[in-house]
Structure 1
Amino acid sequence: MRYTSPLLAALLASALAAPVALAGDMKTGCAGKQQSIERQIQEAKAQGNSHRVDGLEKALAEVKANCTDESLRQEREADVREAQAEVLERENDLKEAQAKGDAEKIATRQAKLAEAREELKSAEAQLNR
């Protein structure tokens, strides 16, 4: 597996999560990632944010050079598996807290489980894009 810098990873993640302006214009897979990054570059240029433009242009070059629809699908499948494991872990944590009867820990564990479930939903949605 290739190493990706945290900044580049964050930029790529934001590019994936960013909504596309026109739903009819939405592409999927690597083409969708590229389109999203290009749109963000235009927005950053319009705002005069040269640092963001630089980072997004690096992310775009990375997508153009290395993204394949198959590799993207594999990454998204891995994200779903990780999110599923997180949900399972949070469910077990909640069961343990409930067994001990600690109301504060139960509430905390419930909140963390809800957050993990939302992350799973998001990962599943990305997989189906």
Structure 2
Amino acid sequence: MRDNKNSKMTIIKGITISFLFAGSTVVLAKDDSANLTGCAKKACEVNHQLLTAKRQGNSHQVVGLNKALNNTNEYCTQNGLKAELQQKIDDTNSEIEEYKTGLKKAKRQGKHDKVKKYQQKLNDETKQLKQLID
């Protein structure tokens, strides 16, 4: 019975290592996962971060990224990704509106340093929104 458990664990470890190496190959072959989409892209990005953390010897980050990779592989769905992206877009739009309000207020008050600060934040958020939409 004990040998059977050891055999199962060996098989599971082998499969896990195979997935990691396969993911590594995908990351290296795709270089930044440019041609992947959806959950495959997300898994590839997490795997890339995992490999970087391993190379840097960051064991705490490796543990967290292993968990993230497992969760991505198990729970990731296209609808979930769309909902997550839409939430980020909505949050960014809210930030943009707040910065526009702050910018108008700073202009009315003649506070040039705040105008500059709000304009920069507005530009950054607008750029981020464009990236999210793309």
Q: Which runs of 5+ in 1 are unaligned?
A: 1-18
Task: Confirm or deny: 8 A CA contact 1:34 1:63 kept in the other structure.
Answer: yes
Indicate the residue corresponding to 1:123 in structure 2. 132
Tell me the TM-score normalised to structure 1 length. 0.70
- The reply on whether 1:48 has 2:57 as its aligned counterpart is yes
Amino acid at match of 1:26: N
Over the aligned positions, Cα root-mean-square deviation in angstroms equals: 2.3
Distance 1:73 1:119, change over 3 A: same
Alignment of 1:103-122 (within 5 A): 103-122=112-131
Deviations 1:47-87 (A, max 9, x none): 33322211110111111222101110111011112111211
Tell me the TM-score normalised to structure 2 length. 0.67
Runs of 4+ aligned structure 1 residues displaced above 6 Å come to none
Amino acid at match of 2:42: K
Count of aligned pairs between the two proteins = 107
Larger radius of gyration: 2
Deviations 1:86-126 (A, max 9, x none): 1122112111111122212212221221222122123223x
Q: Which runs of 5+ in 2 are unaligned?
A: 1-26
Pick the aligned partner of 2:75 from 45, 53, 66.
66
The share of aligned pairs that are identical, in percent, is 33
User: Which range moved further: 70-79 or 19-28?
Assistant: 19-28
Higher relative contact order (CA 8 A, sep 6+): 1
